[in-house]
Amino acid sequence: MITLTVVSAAFVMGATIPPKFACDGISPPLSWAEVPAGTQSIAVLCDDPDAPAGDWVHWVIFNLPPDTKIDEGVPKGVKLPNGATQGINDYGENGYDGPCPPPGRPHRYFYKVYALDAKLALTPKARKADLLKAMEGHILAKGELMGKFRR
């Protein structure tokens, strides 16, 4: 599988995520290297494997156009103007909810980007598990950016 290099103008791999993109903040900008030929859509997940209850999902977004980069502050809601759909995060909302761990040690947040050879037939009610299942056999490339946040 091809590896995508995922970057953000807001933070680098392993660094602290600025408060602007945490708790009640906005989504960070994300970009990635060229997607492979045959890419029909992009999907993005953001999750926290260090959450007390286990993996906590902060963002589910799919069917982004292949040439898309994500600007900061993607509005909450189901459909985006570029045709992408935001699924349901573990706060029960469609859209991005930033890192907001309990006070104490920092948590790691993984922004995972997938280049897919298909558009996905998912509804806005899709959660992480639904997205992972729908992507099976369709992933051409994958990359991730990890940032940390502590309150």
In CATH, what class is 2-149?
A: alpha beta
Residue pair 150/106 in contact by the 8 Å Cβ criterion = yes
20 forms beta bridges with none
Give residue-wise pLDDT tens across range 104-130: 999 999 999 999 999 999 999 999 999
Backbone angles phi, psi at 133, to 5 degrees: -65, -45
* Pairing mode, strands 56-64 and 139-149: unpaired
DSSP for 97-131 reads: ----PPSSS-EEEEEEEEEESS-----TT--HHHH
Q: Is 2 helix (H, G, I), strand (E, B) or coil?
A: strand
Task: Give percent above pLDDT 90 in the chain.
Answer: 96
Residue located via tokens 């993005």: 44
Instruction: Calculate mean pLDDT across residues 64-82.
Output: 95
Is residue 93 a contact partner of residue 84, using CB atoms and an 8 Å limit? no
pLDDT digits (tens, 9 = 90+) for 26-44: 999 999 988 999 999 999 9
Rounded Cα distance between 43 and 32, Å, is 12
Q: Name the pTM for this structure.
A: 0.97
Domain boundaries, the chain: 2-149
